[in-house]
Structure 1
Amino acid sequence: MNALAALGGLRTVGLDELNARAELQTRVDRKYIVPARDLPAVLHALPTGSDVLEIGGENALRYASQYFDTPTLDSFYGAVRGRRRRFKVRARTYLDSGGSFLEVKTRGARAATVKDRVPVTGDELDDEAVAYATDLLADAGIPGAARLAERLQPTLVTRYRRATVLLPATPGGDPSRATIDTELTWIAADGAVLQLPSSVIVETKSGQRAGALDRALWRQGHRPAKVSKYGTGMAALHSDLPANPWHRALSRHFRHGTIARGIAPGTASVPA
């Protein structure tokens, strides 16, 4: 948590204000893998007028995401092969507030990410959730949407602590938001656990123009990285899977992580 200490000096905003100023469900995402030791300098470089999301008195909240894929890993291989009509399906749980949402991410025009979501109970896909995923996949033009949705099963869990920053508009642009994820953990379906304590994933979410945090990161020598929490996590935990799109991230950052095997999913030894 010390790495996020600089956020304590920012004005706080609630979720309603954050969404009103920069909801950005359709956006361009840029991801950066930053050494944890460099994060304080990045935060101190945030532009004047930056705010941090606070919920229940906390500005770094615990998240868990259960990713779903088919037995043949259609979602994973769609990312590996760079398919235009690729997708991700996950149940995201806000561990501090208890809310859960089923999220379906697809690719829109000009490489924009389109994310739709609906509240769910728990992290299992019931008939209603499968129907919802089917409709969204079909709307995105993904072939065989119904069969894909019906075959989805739990594949990978990610856990992390997230701070969300609202950044002022750049000249000619709109306000943008960014997320900063620490305490990164991946849990495979077989119980293998990967932890990455020395790295932080920063994700900027803006329109077509780069946001204020992108520019601050660039000035400090950090460049966007090819990384996917789902795809890179799967490749790191399963050496038999292809990893070409994320080779650089895996070799530079994930090799510093620790992997524990033989741990039953959901046990207390997995950080909550």
Structure 2
Amino acid sequence: MRARLKPAYPDADTAFTLVHTTYFDSPTLLSFSDYINQRPVRFKVRIRQYAPNGVWQNPCVSFAEIKRSENGVSKKERFQLSSNGLRTLLQGDAVTLTPDEEALNRSIGKERLAQRIELLNGLMSHHRLRPMVTVSYRRTAYEDGTMRVTVDTNLAWEALVAPPPTLAELMSQEQSWVYVEKMEQDYRRISGSIVEVKHRECLPDWLIQYMEDNQLVERSFSKYCWSQTQSLRRVLGEVARE
């Protein structure tokens, strides 16, 4: 990969990045359910934090992200959080447009920043979103003029809120549960490496060969869905032992 593409980082001295993501969901796991049922309109709220070369700064770079999908078209909006904004959001409270937030997001402008904060607060309030799980991984990123490739390894998850046993049982009995089982099988088969390719043109032959050599197949994969599934399985295992 390094022989074909250039590293894609803001700082030329960066060789890799550690990524820590906090995913939010409703008490009924609406975002999780919408995803595994592949509903045409769905959303995801998360906080992403970055550590270039594995070094966490204090404060670290943190972004609030809202990802929406409507009939197969995805749109992601995000803004950088101040330390106070980060604490507020992790507590499940509304983020306010402060001078600190404005200073961190000059590139998107005050009006667009206000719109994104309003959208985030609306979703948080309407769906009673709270932090549910975290996912951490090591990312290397590459690009050329028409393509970006990221390779994520060493995925680790942690449940912040354990789903109620009744909800875990209900989710596992849905027909769509086979979707997450297939995702788990694919993840185990590739030994925990996730390659994401964003491109505007046809894939080059060398990348197709790379995927074949590493037994990579095209699949839809959600880190939140995968981590929440592990959390649900843990609860189901605890229920089985009682």
Deviation per residue, 1:6-31 (Å, 9 max, x gap): xxxxxxxxxxxxxxxxxxxxxxxxxx
Partner of 1:113: 74
Partner of 1:127: 94
Partner of 2:196: 203
Partner of 2:103: none
Deviation per residue, 1:28-63 (Å, 9 max, x gap): xxxxxxxxxxxxxxx36x63xx10124362211111
Q: Structure 1 residues 218, 81: CA separation in 2 closer, same or farther (over 3 Å shift)?
A: same
- Is residue 224 of structure 2 the alignment partner of residue 230 of structure 1? yes
Aligned residue among 150, 153, 157 for 2:134 = 157
Aligned residue among 144, 152, 159 for 1:188 = 159
What RMSD, in angstroms, separates the aligned Cα atoms of the two structures?
3.4
Partner of 2:105: none
- Partners of 1:51 and 1:64 in 2: CA distance: 24
Deviation per residue, 1:108-160 (Å, 9 max, x gap): 45x2321110111326424137984662798xxxxx88512xx1100010111
Percent identity of paired positions between Structure 1 and Structure 2: 26
Aligned pairs, number: 178
- Partners of 1:132 and 1:202 in 2: CA distance: 29
Contact 1:235-1:241 at 8 Å conserved across structures: no
What is the TM-score when the length of structure 1 is the normalising length? 0.56
- Partners of 2:149 and 2:225 in 1: CA distance: 21
Which consecutive residues of structure 1, in runs of 5 or more, have no partner in the other structure? 1-42, 139-143, 169-174, 243-272
- Stretches of 4+ moved more than 6 A in 1? none
Contact 2:94-2:121 at 8 Å conserved across structures: no
Residue 152 of structure 1 aligns to which amino acid in structure 2?
Answer: L
Report the Cα offset of residue 214 of structure 1.
5.3
- Is residue 61 of structure 2 the alignment partner of residue 99 of structure 1? yes
Q: Structure 1 residues 123, 156: CA separation in 2 closer, same or farther (over 3 Å shift)?
A: farther
- Partners of 1:145 and 1:153 in 2: CA distance: 8
Residue 221 of structure 2 aligns to which amino acid in structure 1?
Answer: V
Larger radius of gyration: 2
Which consecutive residues of structure 2, in runs of 5 or more, have no partner in the other structure? 97-113, 163-187, 237-242
What is the TM-score when the length of structure 2 is the normalising length? 0.62
Task: State the SS of the aligned residue for 1:235.
Answer: helix
Q: Greater share of helix residues, 1 or 2? A: 2
Task: State the SS of the aligned residue for 2:218.
Answer: coil
Partner of 2:168: none
Report the Cα offset of residue 233 of structure 1.
1.3
Deviation per residue, 1:146-182 (Å, 9 max, x gap): 512xx110001011111110035xxxxxx11111112
